[in-house]
Chain A
Amino acid sequence: MTYAEFDADDVMQEFEDPEVVCEIIGLLKTDIPRYLAEYQQARAAGDLAVAQRAAHTIKGAASNVSAREVCEVAKSIEMALRAGQVDVSALEPRLVAACGRLTSELSAWETELKASAEGAR
């Protein structure tokens, strides 16, 4: 299976062990939605500093699996907020969608890795 939202080859090359990869997937599956929720709450509360930091954190977390789209959109939002540009609403649906696709694909990859490990036994 190929994945559009992240670079599976790069991740496997870095972490080598499928069990380790599954561990990091487990963290990201939980954390990326959490960071996104923090971002949305901060935006709703008008707290730009926290929103900027949450966008930065999303970018950092997603970079661990070379998730290009999430990193790109999160970075654009972060830069815009840092520059004092309050209206980033055009970018937000892209971020939500990209995060959703990323976590779905990570789940699928995790299932695939676990199935091949099971098959090897």
Chain B
Amino acid sequence: MHVLVCDDDRATRFAVTRILTQQLGCRTSECEDGVEALQLMSRERFSFVILDIEMPLMSGVEVLELMRESPQTQTLPVVILSNVRDEHAVRHLLKLGVADYVLKPPRAEKLVAKLQRLVATLPQEVRPEQNTGVIRLSPATPAMLIDGNLDYRFFFVNQAQGYGPIQEMDSGASAVARFKASPAQIVFIGGDLGVVNASVLARKLRQLRPDGPLRIVGMLDDGAPEALKKLFDDVMPRTLLPATFREAFRPFVDIPGPLSAFSRVVPDLAAVASSAACQVFGMMFDTEVRPGAPGTGSPATACATIPIQVDERFAVTVGVYLSTETATAVAIKMFGVDEVSDEDRESVATELSNLISGRIHAGFRERGLPSVFGLPVQAPAGPVPVPSPADGVLTRFSLESAGEFSITAVVVDANATDQTKADAPAQNVTTAAETSPLTSPDTEPVAEATPSEAA
């Protein structure tokens, strides 16, 4: 949300701008007279204007009169900030159409309350940006991590550095100094920050970068008070569990490449894959599946892949990887045999990839995406590494059976040349299913992406 603050007094503009940027997350432009205000309005688009009345060159009333005559600014909301209490002037302003009237001096409590009411009435496209955009990390735009705990910093960097560079700071004070020299677009604030605590630090960083982009993520322990959460744009758990960390961290960073583009078309790819696996196993074994624990990473012995072209732009290759144990169990159920051969297990892989890819393909079509389903490709016999949580989006299940299986979806640009495809990093989405005694399906599948996507 971009707001124009027009007042001939610098201290007033300073106070208003501070409230707008820090408490309402607005971007601001300033000017000190009516002429400059109109010039700015003709060049830039504002969500609303805060306008003083008594100003040099052109008064606020004159500015408002001209605004109401111009199609471009006819309906632009104006909040009058003045200490003019003259009834005649106020009536005239109301006649011209002002959204609100705030008396000087601008004080946060009253100004925020009035502006929040105004913002609620604005069209969606001019509502405040929620600082929810993902950031593409690069040497020029690293993430900043602030945590006084060395072990936690080591863990964070170890888990997150695959997405891009991370600047480590061990205290709030050092973070402020570093941020002044080199402001980050995304900042993760943990614990043990020293004198400059999370509250002061978040406020100071916003003050240093009032026009953003800046996204401040608080890393909080369980049971953190609501007041603390409100300091940040987002919160995530300050966890030492790798899978939980990556699941929480992943939404904050943009990963370049086809998977990132595909995730804008099908943001719930992991859920589509989970649903496909649930449906297939439910139909085949009359068994419910539930999210499972991280896999053991033991190699698969049977694998088959199927290409699906989506929206003429993406080539998604769905792969099914089965352990000997799972492939054997499924073969017994599927073929009704006691003795299971390698060939049977390979057939199981092909059949499962057909069924699961078919459901994923249907999922794409249900989302209105043109989807063309290809033929299965049998992997050569022999051990195949089972995708681990480090390989991509991961959805796990437990099944009333034994062993493990995994599903991967490799996304490439369907229109790229073969050479480009070969050069491009593989973009993996992995759905792993771990088979174990059946329990109730009371939790949602876990979805997470991992640093390999950023390769």
Contacts and interface: CB of A to CB of B under 8 A. Distances in A.
A and B from one complex:
yes
Interface stretch (A51-59, A94-102, A107-115): A51-59
Nearest to B19: A14
Contacts of A70: none
A28 interface: yes
Interface string A52-74: 01001101110110100000000
B11 A57 contact: no
A56 B105 contact: no
Given A60-B9, A63-B83, A24 B104 contact: no
Given A14-B108, A64-B105, A66-B105, A53 B56 contact: yes
Contacts of A61: 9-12
B284 interface: no
8 contacts: A24-B14, A27-B14, A31-B9, A53-B55, A56-B54, A60-B9, A61-B11, A61-B12
Contact of B11 (A31, A50, A56): A31
B105 A17 contact: no
A28 B11 contact: yes
Contacts of B107: 14
A14 B110 CA distance: 11
A63 B105 contact: yes
Contacts of A27: 10-11, 14
Taking residues whose C-beta sits less than 8 angstroms from the other chain, chain B's interface range is 20 to 34
Interface of A: 14-15, 17, 20, 23-24, 27-28, 31, 35, 50, 53, 56-57, 59-61, 63-64, 66, 120
Q: What 9 A-B pairs are tightest by C-beta distance, nearest first? A: A63-B105, A56-B54, A27-B11, A61-B9, A64-B11, A27-B10, A64-B105, A60-B9, A63-B104
B108 A59 contact: no
B15 interface: yes
A28 B12 CA distance: 10
Nearest to B108: A14
Contacts of A57: 8-9, 54
Contacts of A64: 9, 11-12, 15, 104-106
A59 B14 contact: no
A120 B194 CA distance: 13
Given A14-B108, A17-B203, A24 B54 contact: no
A27 B18 CA distance: 14
B158 interface: no
Nearest to A55: B54
Nearest to B105: A63
Nearest to B207: A20
A23 B14 CA distance: 9
Interface string B284-314: 0000000000000000000000000000000
B9 A24 contact: no
Interface of B: 7-12, 14-15, 18, 52, 54-56, 83, 104-108, 195, 200, 203-204, 207
B100 to A, nearest CB: 18
A56 B15 CA distance: 18
B419 to A, nearest CB: 56
Contacts of B7: 60
A17 B7 CA distance: 23
Contacts of A35: 9
B384 to A, nearest CB: 59
Contacts of A59: 83
A25 B315 CA distance: 62
B161 to A, nearest CB: 33
Contacts of A120: 195
Nearest to B173: A121
Nearest to A23: B14
Nearest to B52: A60
A57 to B, nearest CB: 6
Nearest to A32: B11
Contacts of B56: 50, 53
A23 B200 CA distance: 17
Given A20-B207, A53-B56, A60 B108 contact: no
A17 B195 CA distance: 14
A92 to B, nearest CB: 19
Contacts of B10: 27, 31, 61
A101 B9 CA distance: 20
B438 to A, nearest CB: 56
A102 to B, nearest CB: 12
Given A56-B54, A57-B9, A64-B105, A24 B15 contact: yes
A42 B108 CA distance: 34
A28 B200 CA distance: 25
B18 A60 contact: no
